[in-house]
């Protein structure tokens, strides 16, 4: 079974129905998608910021996000994921500037790779730092 890991930036783009979101949907195709358990919180922050000046649009975007999340496997943030995220921060904070939540995304993607195999997981992100860390860790995927 092939998986595509979606980070929060991509999930928000899909919920907003913007160009990057449409591009991500075409890249996913018929594969299964997955994301970290932190994504709904991160996405809420992104959507709330997007609609701060026009809050009436927020419920529609939240509904679109919920639809995407119901079709997405959520990877739990286990102790193993947190240990790996800490290692990633140690390894990539200075050179790449990897941030905490991005490290959790990379570690969550790594958890899927461990469970399903290296060739069965790709990622889609709109975050340059996260993309750099994923590439450094041997993942394949797309930066939108």
Q: What percent of the chain has pLDDT over 70?
A: 100
Distance CA 115, CA 89 (A): 22
Token pair of 13, please?
């783009």
Q: According to the model, what pLDDT value does residue 119 have?
A: 75
HSE-up of 142 (CA within 13 Å, CB side)? Answer: 15
pLDDT over threshold 90, residue 1 = no
The SS3 assignment for 36 reads strand
Pairing of strands 32-36, 72-75: parallel
Per residue in 13-36, pLDDT (tens digit) is 999 999 999 999 999 998 999 999
Tens of pLDDT, residues 31-85: 999 999 999 999 999 999 999 988 899 999 999 999 999 999 999 999 999 999 9
User: What predicted TM-score, i.e. pTM, was given to this entire model?
Assistant: 0.93
What domains, with CATH codes, occur in the chain?
A: 3-143 (3.40.50.1010)
Confidence at residue 54, expressed as pLDDT on a 0 to 100 scale:
87
């Amino acid at each position: 079974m092939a998986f595509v890991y979606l980070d929060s930036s991509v999930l928000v783009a899909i919920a907003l129905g913007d160009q990057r979101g449409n591009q991500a949907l075409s890249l996913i195709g018929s594969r299964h998608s997955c994301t970290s358990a932190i994504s709904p919180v991160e996405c809420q922050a992104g959507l709330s910021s997007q609609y701060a000046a026009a809050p009436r649009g927020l419920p529609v975007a939240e509904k679109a996000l919920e639809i995407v999340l119901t079709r997405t496997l959520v990877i739990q943030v286990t102790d193993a994921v947190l240990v790996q995220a800490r290692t990633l921060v140690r390894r990539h904070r200075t050179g790449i500037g990897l941030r905490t939540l991005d490290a959790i995304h990379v570690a969550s993607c790594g958890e899927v790779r461990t469970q399903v195999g290296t060739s069965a997981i790709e990622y889609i992100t709109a975050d340059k730092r996260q993309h750099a860390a994923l590439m450094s860790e041997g993942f394949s995927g797309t930066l939108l």
